[in-house]
Structure 1
């Protein structure tokens, strides 16, 4: 884990690093924005923001039946009003559960034939359920049986592919360790673990791999704890409750940043184009109001001001043309190791010995830039590391 000293150095570097800046005066607010020199580090995408030019065809023989249909069959019974009231809770529990996660993994892969039972006529089953009026307990069991058939049709191919073991599947939540284990089995050959992630509470290779890749939901706290038995969360620290958003972000990442297209020859990248009007970053990461980050204290009325809209336009003009390169670099970064501990991974790493020695002899800006570029080439630096000023501070202060 990066030391406390290094974190302080990183934070200071961000504040002092020279960045292009423009400002405009609103009636009661001063709106400023900063454009980073490393835009790929701020890439934010979801599947709705892009068009995929080489999509995955729908698996043959997969019947139209969604996770919403599954939830309805499992909980609908004869009281649709109760289902409507409880749907959010049911869906949240499903999406953050092991079976819900595996359902979404199956849909994500998109090429595995479903394993429907040969002794069940699903058309007849659907027709029988459609004809039901006032449900008996036996009828409810029939409906739930249909749900289980569709669930098993997705789970069995994942088991056969070796992505999950039968004894790992139950009705419990999908913890970080469970999610990482499944994904590591899927991607570990294409994107192997490089090592060096020193978590305080997990030696599990899959969990450390997930942190190294930068999978959403695997946030490490400042002491180096991941809490592997907690559900995915976009916030570091222990968490008892699953966040659907974290699981959703995970699937956007493995689809668009990792080589997420399963083919007969292995995993390949989806080819994507940014849709018109889409901004491939989170706008409020870059806007300050009266010198304070807008994302920390948002006043929605500011969004309608001319000054805010002008800032949005300038930010869009900066990032949108850079999107293809941003995605290319983000994909390359996701394949790299991490600089986890500066002394071990940089100062005393033999790969950088010549650059470090050259800097300590001459201490020129040219030497700093040479070291910085070498580090960027080798490591996936995070936003608290990726700056020449930060690297200079490390060279001057870390032994």
Structure 2
């Protein structure tokens, strides 16, 4: 085994990759109605690695009390800024371009924070623009200009508080895509005091501390390929590799992670965790990430839709969902703890020669007993946020037996 193992991309269905000691359950097997399919699943010993969560699935016992802001959603901004009163015809593409842009990302970050009042200019300019828009022909040059001016004013009113808070600099803002480096920089400035960078993430193509912090923290949208490249100038994406065409899903997932796994509630004194309760009928997992068909992961199958319709698949999904629902408070708590931990990047440096594990490693290498192996494994799991690939006693044994 090589002495260095890179942290690979997050699974597209997860909010975080982390580890917790849990007794491994027995294998659960269901045979599909068709003899061509055999559906199996094993309930994971580390369910927090498979956590899937978004704000629509939960209620908050301590919701944010937002600053008083007049109603002006992104949809209205896009109508005004594009001058397209028939916006619904281009709504999907306009929204995709805006949400994945620097200004769109900052708009949504402002909305997530919630407590900053918008920085409108003095002198009643906004009210005058509203009056003009209400009275002018919407398709006239004057009407279109008034709408575009209002859009610019509303956007700047949301970006200025982020500049004042030190999260973004004016010279960093343009009409370009919100790249991984840009997103990481904004989040790092906001959260580095509550989630500091531990170090040791040796990316091949970026020495930027914010980007390395984002990888270490497990932010969705920052997968690293097998050679150690993150492509910092690419848009967010859940799959590794260089990307040129931005999609909205990864941008949505990163905000879900920051709000629910990080201490994502902005307060007058800093950041706090939201107190989260799962809504009835919500399952914080995607069973397809756990189910196998004929011994292979479900995601690799070519006929997924037809298999999903079988009673056996549905029964397996319900049992997996129930397992996660019953353990949700513990799973969320562990996911939050693990998101604050460092990562194993170089097994030789981070485990074999790390002083924290010296005693356990020496004891295992002396007699290679299962008891001593488990001691190393549990110590490593407690200290690091292991990825799914890394988190097994068998993997740790291979490291201990082969890495110098």
TM-score band w.r.t. shorter chain: over 0.9
Q: State the shift of 1:24 in Å.
A: 1.8
Question: How many Å separate the matches in 1 of 2:349 and 2:123?
Answer: 60
- Give, in whole Å, the separation in 1 of the partners of 2:6 and 2:176: 39
Say if 2:33 and 2:312, in contact at 8 Å, map to a contact too: no
Matches for 1:330-369 after TM superposition, within 5 Å: 330-369=335-374
In 1: Cα distance, 2:318 partner to 2:103 partner: 43
Match of 1:22 among 16, 28, 40: 28
SS of residue matched to 2:277: strand
Contact 1:6 1:394 in 2 (8 A): no
Unmatched tracts of structure 1, length 5 or more:
8-16
Q: Secondary structure at the match of 1:377?
A: helix
Of the three residues 135, 139, 142, the one matched with 1:135 is 139
Deviation track 1:62-105 (CA, whole Å, cap 9, x = no partner) reads 11101111111111335x1xx32322111111001000000001
Equivalent residue number for residue 73 of structure 2: 66
Q: For each residue in 1:170-225, what CA deviation from the matched residue of structure 2 results, as whole angstroms up to 9, or x when unmatched?
A: 10111111111111100011111000000001000000000000000000000000
Deviation (angstroms), 1:4: 7.2
More helix by share: 1
Asked if 1 retains the 8 angstrom alpha-carbon contact of 2:360 and 2:376, the reply is yes
Pairs aligned (count): 386
Q: Per-residue CA shift, 1:1-27, capped at 9, x if unaligned?
A: x757899xxxxxxxxx97632222222
Q: Alignment partner for residue 52 of structure 2, among 44, 48, 66?
A: 44
Name the SS of the counterpart of 1:238 in structure 2.
coil
Shift of 1:131: 2.9
DSSP 3-state at the match of 2:212: helix
CA spacing shift, 1:304–1:202, aligned 2, 3 Å:
same
Instruction: Mark the CA change 1:21 to 1:31 in structure 2 (over 3 Å): closer, same or farther.
Output: same
SS in 2 for 1:155: helix
Question: What residue in structure 2 maps to residue 196 of structure 1?
Answer: 200
Distance 1:389 1:149, change over 3 A: same
Cα deviation, residue 389, structure 1: 1.4
From 74, 95, 100, the equivalent of 1:96 is: 100
The answer to whether residue 80 in structure 2 is matched with residue 76 in structure 1 is no
Partner of 1:258: 262
Worse overlay, 20-29 or 50-59: 20-29
Aligned-residue RMSD, C-alpha? 1.9
Q: Tell me, yes or no, if the aligned pair for 1:174 and 1:231 is still in contact at 8 Å.
A: yes
Secondary structure, in 3 states, of the residue corresponding to 1:288? strand
How far apart, in 1, do the equivalents of 2:173 and 2:231 lie? 20
Q: Decide whether aligned partners of structure 1 residues 256 and 365 sit closer, same or farther in structure 2, where only a CA change above 3 A counts.
A: same
The 3 A distance-change label for structure 1 pair 169 and 160 is same
Corresponding residue number in structure 1 for 2:12:
none
C-alpha separation between the residues in 2 aligned to 1:5 and 1:333? 19
* Superposed counterparts of 1:149-298, under 5 Å: 149-297=153-301, 298=303
Asked if 1 retains the 8 angstrom alpha-carbon contact of 2:33 and 2:310, the reply is no
My pick for the range that moved more, 352-361 or 272-281, is 272-281
Q: Is the 8 A contact 1:19 1:35 kept in 2?
A: yes
1:120 CA drift (Å): 2.5
> How big is the shift at 1:391?
0.8
Give the Cα–Cα distance (whole angstroms) in 2 for the partners of residues 33 and 222 of structure 1. Answer: 27
Instruction: Check whether the contact 2:342–2:385 (CA below 8 A) recurs between aligned residues.
Output: yes
Displacement of 1:133 in angstroms is 3.0
Alignment correspondent of 1:11: none
For the residues of structure 2 that align with 1:384 and 1:26, how far apart are their CA atoms?
Answer: 28
User: Is 2:307 aligned against 1:299?
Assistant: no
Measured in 1, the distance between the counterparts of 2:286 and 2:82 equals: 37
Q: Does 1:53 align with 2:64?
A: no
> Can you give the 5+ residue segments of structure 2 that lack an aligned partner in the other structure?
8-22
Question: Using the alignment, how far apart are the partners of 1:6 and 1:336 within structure 2?
Answer: 16
Contact 2:83/2:147, CA 8 A, preserved across alignment: no
Question: Following the alignment from structure 2 to structure 1, what is the Cα–Cα distance between the partners of residues 94 and 322?
Answer: 42
The separation in 2 between residues aligned to 1:164 and 1:102, in whole angstroms, is 9
